[in-house]
Structure 1
């Protein structure tokens, strides 16, 4: 169950292990794992955030997330506050705070041992039993409080929070070869590489000699073939890992390319 108390405040409760469908963190997110575990898979590997973890995740991050019950069987429960650009720009203007430079630190910051942030999340718990008590005005106050607490902990987070510049143009070939397994839209890939959608498609054609759609499909299927044939993984475990939404689409595309079903490799 995912319950959005207000536009930027989200409560999750999952009884069984579950993959998240969203693979792009669009806005900065401050999260607290109440019970259970959250597994984050990025190009740097996997990180496990267990019960009591408080973390800050930077916007525009590609990640695959699995929510899982804890070792004691307790369901996964979490609270997430999304610090969207509109709220941060208002706060920046009101307090005359600006980013003195670009943020170059960690994209996931562990804040678990901060007692003030722990108390902050504890103050939100009653609203999940009585969601109608969290008005838009209260939600705005709680969002401002979160920003205040982050800056109290580390004033240098101004670069993290108040950098409103667009992603700069980066090496498209390297980025796509590292991130082709993430199921996000072409527009999102374009934004992450610092390009308009039209420029992204034009640059892509020059570099790869193919449209993004055809290249992504073939690249994902080749990776799936390797994982099944060489790593003995099952198609039902592979399709999501390489960037497909469902097993039916994956199986059909695989057979169209190779002439046989993925299960025939087992």
Structure 2
């Protein structure tokens, strides 16, 4: 079990509960995730754009993508949501046991909203007691609960087998275009490598040929230039801009900004 003040992670089950608007950790979504927003809403940003996931929404997000979130509680209440992550191992077992296979690589939407369904909502409600008593969640129960979720999803949306059981890894894509579109995501370089269909060594080699510098140096310069534009031209406060462009903390951002431009970000 992993727990902080706002989140409880039990194996592949995540419960979130926050009482103030909160940016989530910037994520490389490594596994498909089925989520239910119990209360409040989530502002999501991906390479495909930005959108709000409303209270009561059940959605499935595809693995191997980058994501930024802001969790927003309802007036006077708490944001609450549950997610279950579908690992590749259990998906492969389920696929073989039930003879369900994808016809080919999935090329559809990366986030799918499911129809309002009382059985899936009832399923998520059945998970809540385990977050209070995690000792009751055995490995056998985790397997059963994960398969139950898959059964429910495929019952109401059979076409999702094409998303769930596409086991292909990302293919090699245009690195320059990808990085210029996704530099603001604060994730390790090896995640960028995976999403461009390269090993880390091949990514660094190709990156050097294209940009004539290292990924770390390029990312910092790109993020600083964008931050300068947001603060000076758009009036964004430094306390928001540093997160928007992919810096992890304000002090590091302020130090790097002053070193690059000769002035504190609060003074431009």
Q: Please state which band the TM-score falls in when normalised by the shorter chain.
A: over 0.9
Please give the per-residue CA displacement for 1:182-222, whole angstroms capped at 9, x wherever unaligned: 00111000000000001101111111111111111100000
Separation of aligned partners in 1, 2:206 and 2:52: 36
Separation of aligned partners in 2, 1:112 and 1:235: 40
2:176 aligned with 1:180: no
2:250 aligned with 1:242: no
2:8 aligned with 1:3: yes
Query: How far apart are 1:128 and its partner, in Å?
Result: 3.1
Separation of aligned partners in 2, 1:19 and 1:254: 22
Quick one: which of 68, 78, 81 aligns to 2:81?
78
Please give the per-residue CA displacement for 1:202-248, whole angstroms capped at 9, x wherever unaligned: 11111111111111110000000000110011101100110000000
Partner residue in 2 for 1:61: 65
Query: How far apart are 1:256 and its partner, in Å?
Result: 1.1
Separation of aligned partners in 1, 2:26 and 2:48: 18
CA contact (8 A) 2:114 2:157 kept: no
Q: Secondary structure at the match of 1:12?
A: strand
Aligned length: 263
What stretches of structure 1 of length at least 5 have no aligned partner?
none
Partner residue in 2 for 1:39: 43
Partner residue in 2 for 1:196: 199
Query: Once superposed, what is the RMSD of the aligned Cα atoms?
Result: 1.3
Query: How far apart are 1:14 and its partner, in Å?
Result: 0.8
CA contact (8 A) 1:38 1:48 kept: yes
Q: What TM-score does the superposition give when structure 2 sets the normalisation length? A: 0.94
Separation of aligned partners in 1, 2:210 and 2:13: 41
Query: How far apart are 1:96 and its partner, in Å?
Result: 2.3
What stretches of structure 2 of length at least 5 have no aligned partner?
1-5
Separation of aligned partners in 1, 2:155 and 2:72: 32
Q: Secondary structure at the match of 2:69?
A: strand
Q: Secondary structure at the match of 1:34?
A: strand
2:227 aligned with 1:224: yes
Partner residue in 1 for 2:210: 207
Q: What TM-score does the superposition give when structure 1 sets the normalisation length? A: 0.95
